[in-house]
Chain A
Amino acid sequence: MSQFLGPLDSSGRVPPLQQTRVASFLISIHGALARQLAVALPGQFTAGWQTELNAQLHREMEVVSLLMRATSWAPDPAAPYHALTWETAWLSQPVSGIADQRLATTVDIAALGHAAHGVIRPAAILPVEASSDDPFVTALRRIEFESSRLIQAQIHFLKSDHLKPFRDSVSAAVGDRHRQVRKLWEDVLAGIGITPRANGS
């Protein structure tokens, strides 16, 4: 087991099955976020929020389309099982302590987004020698880089004064999503021979 993708081929490219497994997971979660944002967007009439949600929606779609193009796909017999597991996980979850269902759903979407952009560090599994000529490598670096900006919308919303009365509920919801996403991400990595980096969480 290693902490990084590989062994790389002679030109520094990541093995296709590893690319397939990582890309499938990322497409699943970012695709789910895009779908949830697409559903949530028409209901948001506050101008500022609408602008941010629109940007988020298109950036999530960009992640999906980028990986579709940049990945060297390989047949993966486990794909149907994984897809079912992941897609089920991204379904909306109840947030206890928030009676307003619309607000609770928005908190859950934001919690999933915070986990997707915060927990998953796709560039951190690239070995130093990974080639920048490999489109998959540059895609992972770009996704991680963009994640630190995308997460700002979730941070802004989840830490807002608007949610102060529900702080414990919000923190619990975000914690649950973090644990869920971390577990699934670590399972993906373990399946392709990668041990997660040391983390107390």
Chain B
Amino acid sequence: MPFLSHGSHRVRYELDGPTDAPAYVLVNGLTQYSELWAAYRDALIGKGLRVATFDLLGQGASDKPELFISQDDQVEALRLLIGELGDGPIFLSGISFGALIALRYAILHGDRLSGLVPMSAFAELSPQLQLLGNALRTGLILGGTSYLQDLLLPMNLSDTWLKPLLGNLDAVKRQGWLVNDVYALQNLMESFLDFQPLTSQLSSIKTPTMILNGEFDFLTPRALHETLRVHIPDSALVIIPNAYHAFTLEKAALTADLLARFAEDVLAGRWRGNQAVWIAPEDAGGDMMPFPDGFDHLRAIPVPRAAS
């Protein structure tokens, strides 16, 4: 199990796939751990890509700073990891909290990236997200990791995914409960106490950017992704149909396929973000569809887009 050193802290990471191939770096969400990307490793390596995964500080097998974890430290850990990957093309993707860290990296070191894929992302805390975050933190404090998982599972995954697992949810939760410590998760959540919106800095991201947003994402709804689409010049927003916040878990094959296609398009010089809005296929390999012209992609009902 290799580790990077960041000051006195150690960051556990894993590199898989051919060393001379373009690399995807995948950044965990708040309660995740790097093994959850296993399906992505297989799929992306199968497409000729290299894959780097790691546990953020405070997660899994990385060090868990006792009192404070700053988001700057997470970005620095990510920079160290990317430094391990040589000079080839780097595609960076992260989910939720990991998307925020990826955005921060792209703002500071965007010239090192060939492509960026924020998933279930946000650049600012809307009142809803801030209050939900506060409530989740209180849930963690009062009920521990297990209760936090109880809140996140129905919020972030579909009925289709949950229904067959209803009788076995404890098993689903167990590994996440085992590897996450309450104080460390709390430190990760409290890294938002001095959070400043990134919105004004998003326009500095010149990297090709594919923004992925679940159709039914309740935690970070479309409006939060729209901020990214509007401010990142070479971006496109892709809506994942029938997906919630944690679609990387629920729709791994589709998401990995979208990641691979994005890298392929960028490397072939075909990518044109154009701040367009697309609808992803239901399954891996299907066709992308432009969002119907004239309709407002921020609404859940077919409302004509207001003239700008």
Q: How far is the CA of A174 from the CA of B65 in the complex (A)?
A: 10
A199: chain B residues at CB < 8 Å are 61, 64
Please provide the chain A residues from 45 to 92 with a CB less than 8 Å away from any CB of chain B in the complex.
none
Nearest opposing residue in chain A for B171, CB measure: A128
Main secondary structure of the interface of A (DSSP, over half): helix
B64: chain A residues at CB < 8 Å are 199-201
The contact of A200 among B63, B67, B68, B143, by CB within 8 Å, is: B63
Would you call B63 and A201 a contact (CB within 8 A)? yes
Q: A118-B66, A145-B144, A170-B67 are in contact. Are A198 and B1 (CB under 8 A)?
A: yes
Would you call B66 and A124 a contact (CB within 8 A)? no
Nearest opposing residue in chain B for A147, CB measure: B182
The contact of A121 among B63, B143, B181, by CB within 8 Å, is: B181
Nearest opposing residue in chain A for B1, CB measure: A198
Nearest opposing residue in chain B for A121, CB measure: B181
Nearest opposing residue in chain A for B61, CB measure: A198
Shortest distance between the CB of B235 and any CB in chain A (Å): 35
Q: How far is the CA of A155 from the CA of B68 in the complex (A)?
A: 10
Would you call B174 and A128 a contact (CB within 8 A)? yes
Number of interface residues of B (CB under 8 A): 33
Q: A128-B174, A148-B141, A149-B142 are in contact. Are A155 and B61 (CB under 8 A)?
A: no
B174: chain A residues at CB < 8 Å are 128
Please provide the chain B residues from 49 to 96 with a CB less than 8 Å away from any CB of chain A in the complex.
55, 60-64, 66-68
Produce 1/0 per residue, A98-131, CB < 8 A to B.
0000000000000000100110010010001000
Check if B291 is an interface residue, CB within 8 A of chain A: no
Check if B12 is an interface residue, CB within 8 A of chain A: yes
Check if A159 is an interface residue, CB within 8 A of chain B: yes
Most chain A CB within 10 A, of B63, B144, B145, B183, is at: B183
Produce 1/0 per residue, A132-175, CB < 8 A to B.
00000000000011011101100100110000000000110011
Would you call A200 and B61 a contact (CB within 8 A)? yes
Shortest distance between the CB of A95 and any CB in chain B (Å): 14
Would you call B141 and A200 a contact (CB within 8 A)? no
Check if B224 is an interface residue, CB within 8 A of chain A: no
A155: chain B residues at CB < 8 Å are 67, 183, 186
Q: Total contacts A to B, CB within 8 angstroms?
A: 67
Nearest opposing residue in chain B for A198, CB measure: B61
Nearest opposing residue in chain B for A146, CB measure: B144
Check if A183 is an interface residue, CB within 8 A of chain B: no
Check if B108 is an interface residue, CB within 8 A of chain A: no
Q: A145-B144, A148-B141 are in contact. Are A114 and B181 (CB under 8 A)?
A: no
Produce 1/0 per residue, B205-224, CB < 8 A to A.
00000000000000000000
Check if B166 is an interface residue, CB within 8 A of chain A: no
Check if B179 is an interface residue, CB within 8 A of chain A: yes
Q: How far is the CA of A45 from the CA of B173 in the complex (A)?
A: 43
Q: A114-B183, A148-B182, A200-B12 are in contact. Are A174 and B66 (CB under 8 A)?
A: yes
B229: chain A residues at CB < 8 Å are none
Would you call A171 and B68 a contact (CB within 8 A)? yes
Shortest distance between the CB of B5 and any CB in chain A (Å): 10
Check if A178 is an interface residue, CB within 8 A of chain B: yes
Produce 1/0 per residue, B138-151, CB < 8 A to A.
00111111000000
B143: chain A residues at CB < 8 Å are 148
Produce 1/0 per residue, B148-165, CB < 8 A to A.
000000000000000000
Check if A197 is an interface residue, CB within 8 A of chain B: yes
B61: chain A residues at CB < 8 Å are 198-200
Check if B178 is an interface residue, CB within 8 A of chain A: yes
Q: A199-B61, A200-B3 are in contact. Are A159 and B11 (CB under 8 A)?
A: no
A118: chain B residues at CB < 8 Å are 66, 181-183
Pull 27 A–B residue pairs with CB atoms less than 8 Å apart, ordered by A: A114-B66, A117-B183, A121-B181, A124-B178, A128-B170, A128-B174, A145-B144, A148-B141, A148-B144, A148-B183, A151-B183, A155-B186, A158-B67, A159-B67, A159-B190, A170-B67, A171-B68, A175-B8, A175-B66, A178-B66, A197-B179, A199-B61, A199-B64, A200-B61, A200-B62, A201-B10, A201-B63
Given contacts A151-B182, A198-B12, A200-B3, 10 further A-B contacts (CB under 8 A): A114-B183, A118-B66, A124-B177, A148-B143, A159-B190, A170-B67, A171-B66, A197-B179, A200-B63, A201-B64
Query: Residues of B at under 8 Å CB distance from A?
Result: 1, 3, 8-12, 55, 60-64, 66-68, 140-145, 170-171, 174, 177-179, 181-183, 186, 190
